[in-house]
Structure formats: C-alpha cells, structure tokens
C-alpha cells in the first residue's frame, strides 16, 4: 500500500540532487541573456556530461565503500588515446572507440585486482595507478594535439531532432546499458552489500570479490566514455595534469551531492549524475551573475560543505558515544 513511501525514502538522495539541480538550472537560464534555448541547454549539457560520466564511475567504487582517485587520470589517458585512434574511416573509427573503451575497462580491472586481490587500501592503490595512467597519457601526448573523427564528434555533441542535446541521449543510453543492469544484477547487489557490511555479506555467502571487481572495472569503462566525450568536444588530446585531478575531486563532490554515502552501500549513479550537473551549474551561475571567476572555487567549496553537512545530522541521535567512531 505504501510502497511508494519506501521508494521515496530510498530515492531521497537522488531526488534531492535533482531538486538542487533544477533550482540552480532555472536560476541560471532565467538570468542568462539568451534564456532557456536549445543552444544554452546544449552547451550546459556538453559540459555537464563529462563530469557526469566520471561521477558515475566514482559512484560504482564508492558504493563498495572504496574510492577511486584514478578516475580523472583514466579520463585523461583515454582522451589522449582517442586523439590517436578515433580517426579515419567509419570502420577505423569504430575500432578506435572500442579500443579506447577496452583500455578504460582494463585500467578499472587493474585497480580492482590490486584493491581486492592485493588487499591494498583503495585510496593508496588508486593514487599510484592514477599516476601511472597519467604517465602513459603524457607519453602518448607530450603536447596537446591529435584529432578525432569530426563527423562522429559533431553528431554526438550536437542536437537530436534539433532540440535534445545528443550528449544527454548518450548519457541516458549509458545509464540504461550499464547502470541499470549493474544495479539490478547479483554483482551489483554484492557491491552494495560489501559496502554496507562486508562481514554480514560474507556470512551470507555473497560474492563480494566479484561484485567489487565488477564495480572497479565498470568504473574504468565509464571514465573512458568520459574521456571519449572530452575528445569529441575538444577535437584534441591533452595530458593536462590539473584537469585530471580536478575531475577526480569534482567526481567525489558530485557523488556526495548526489546522495551517495562515502561509507558505502547507499546511493545511485543517477543521483551522482544530477550531483554532477548541479555542481557544474554552480560555476555557470557565477558567470551569469557577473561574478569574478576567481570566486568559483570558494563558492563551489561552500556549497559542497553545506551539502555534506546535511548528511551528518544523524550523529545527533546516537546514544552510545562509541558509535560516533564506527
């Protein structure tokens, strides 16, 4: 009877992120000189999906109560790789895309193997692998350059039926093809279970290792989709260290804004997508209000701090003070 209420509780984080995004986006477009037009939406979407893909990647790992500090670097590496491979005839381009995705998958699988079978802490393991991935990217593109199949790039960054941004359509497709099956599969549930209570999951005979491995591997794949899109927008590859780092950090911010718990076991990639879009809009808001761009990091930081603090209220209800430290 009250099924919808349980659904509502479960989706609270996602809906909150959606709400924040909508409010910000409405403020943004209503103050934009051009208003709510297809062009404005397309530009915003194209900027937003990059972070959205990386945030989805981060979500998968965070659900297992891990963290992936290499997502930004996989994003860069695959961007550099795509600027070599995604060129030429349609067949060559298609093979190039597959190769780039395969590399992303491999990067994620390496992270997973090190964390799960090497039993290293995710934070340390992924800092190290992230540096390696960046290093490879730098060797591939010591200087910005390269090119991409522009027909494909324009198609995927343009508009469908003249109004809908193509990048959003791709994002939706990826959600349907990767996130939805994962979250409803046994492996996905194992990832959640491992993040929520690994001992209980083990005692219940849940395939913890395979679940976590799938999460890390798919994270690599999603980051590489982001890398492909970066290439489509810029037509070039560039191993920009600062940009990789900020994507990693922003992905964590987006995940938190999207209601995904950093303690694991809770949240959805869809929430993280709205978190990413909302986070991007913060920057754009400053632009339409003519703020000095110098204010942007400070402003983003404050918003993030407020969002994170909302999650800490539960601590006030704890009756055994030792539970503060669990």
Partner 1 sequence: MNSAVPLFRMEGISKRYGGVRALEKAELSVEAGSIHAILGENGAGKSTLIKVMSGVVAPDEGRMTLDGREVTFASPAAANQAGIVCIFQELSLIPELSVADNIVISDPPKRFGMIDRRAQRRIAEDALARAGAGDIHPLALVKDLPLSRRQMVEIAKALARKPRILILDEATSALTAADVSKIFGVLKRLRSEGLALLYISHRMNEIAELADQCSVFRNGRNVASYKAGSKSDNEVVELMIGREYSHIFPPKTADMPSGAAPRLEARKLSWADRLDNISLTVRAGEVVGLGGLDGQGQRELLLAFFGVLRGLSGEVLIDGKPVVISSPAAARKDGIGMALIPEDRKTEGLMLPMTVRENLSFAALDRLAKGGIIDRAAEQRLIDDMVGLLAIKTAGLDVPVGALSGGNQQKVVIAKWLMRQPRIILLNDPTRGIDVGTKQEIYQLMRKLADAGAAILFYSTDYDELIGCCDRVLVLYDGAVKRELVGAEITERALIASALNIHGEESPVGLGADT
* 212 binding partner 1? (CB under 8 A): no
Burial annotation 278-297 (CB, 10 A radius, 16+ → b, else e): bbbbbbbbbeeeeeeeeebe
Alpha-carbon distance of 169 to 159, in angstroms, equals 9
* 11 binding partner 1? (CB under 8 A): no
Report the residue number, 6 or 161, with the smaller CB distance to partner 1: 6
Residue count at the site for partner 1 (CB under 8 A)?
Answer: 33
Alpha-carbon distance of 78 to 223, in angstroms, equals 8
CB of 192 to partner 1, least distance (A): 6
CB of 195 to partner 1, least distance (A): 8
Of the residues 34, 135, 172, 184, which one makes contact with partner 1 according to CB under 8 A:
184
* 121 binding partner 1? (CB under 8 A): no
Report the residue number, 201 or 230, with the smaller CB distance to partner 1: 201
User: Read out DSSP for 288-309?
Assistant: HTT--GGGHHHHHHHHHHHHHH
Report the residue number, 32 or 209, with the smaller CB distance to partner 1: 209
* 202 binding partner 1? (CB under 8 A): yes
Alpha-carbon distance of 215 to 228, in angstroms, equals 20
Please list every residue from 294 through 323 that binds partner 1, using CB under 8 A.
318-322
CB of 186 to partner 1, least distance (A): 6
**Which among 288, 166, 178, 165 is positioned nearest to 223, based on CA atoms?**
178
* 8 binding partner 1? (CB under 8 A): no
Of the residues 224, 266, 277, 303, which one makes contact with partner 1 according to CB under 8 A:
266
Q: How far apart are the first and last CA of the chain?
A: 35
Residue 266 zone, left/alpha/beta (φ > 0; ψ -120 to 50; rest): beta
Query: Where on the chain is the footprint of partner 1 (CB under 8 A)?
Result: 2-3, 6-7, 9-10, 181, 184-186, 189, 192-193, 195-197, 199-206, 261, 264-266, 318-322
């Amino acid at each position: 009877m009250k099924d919808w209420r349980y659904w509502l509780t479960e989706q609270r984080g996602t809906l909150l992120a959606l709400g924040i995004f909508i409010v910000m986006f409405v403020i943004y477009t209503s103050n934009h000189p051009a208003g709510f037009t297809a062009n404005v939406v397309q530009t915003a979407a194209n900027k937003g999906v990059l972070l959205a893909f990386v945030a989805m990647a981060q979500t998968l790992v965070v659900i297992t109560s891990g963290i992936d500090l290499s997502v930004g670097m996989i994003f860069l590496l695959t961007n550099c790789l795509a600027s070599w491979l995604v060129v030429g005839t349609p067949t060559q381009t298609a093979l190039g895309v597959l190769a780039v995705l395969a590399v992303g998958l491999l990067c994620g699988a390496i992270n997973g193997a090190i964390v799960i079978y090497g039993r290293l802490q995710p934070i340390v393991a992924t800092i190290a692998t992230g540096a390696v991935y960046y290093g490879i990217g730098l060797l591939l593109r010591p200087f910005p350059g390269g090119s991409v199949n522009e027909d494909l790039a324009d198609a995927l960054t343009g508009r469908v039926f003249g109004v809908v941004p193509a990048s959003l359509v791709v994002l939706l497709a990826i959600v349907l093809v990767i996130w939805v099956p994962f979250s409803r599969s046994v492996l996905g549930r194992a990832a959640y279970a491992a993040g929520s209570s690994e001992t209980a999951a083990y005692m219940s005979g849940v395939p913890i290792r395979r679940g976590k491995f799938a999460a890390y591997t798919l994270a690599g794949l999603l980051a590489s989709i982001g890398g492909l899109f970066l290439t489509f927008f810029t037509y070039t590859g560039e191993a920009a260290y600062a940009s990789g780092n900020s994507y990693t950090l922003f992905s964590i911010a987006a995940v938190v804004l999207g209601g995904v718990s950093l303690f694991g076991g809770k949240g959805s990639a869809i929430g993280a997508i709205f978190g990413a879009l909302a986070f991007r809009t913060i920057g754009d808001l400053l632009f339409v209000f003519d703020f000095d761009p110098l204010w942007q990091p400070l402003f983003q930081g404050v918003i993030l701090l407020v969002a994170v603090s909302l999650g800490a209220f539960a601590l006030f209800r704890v009756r055994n003070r030792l539970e503060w430290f669990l």
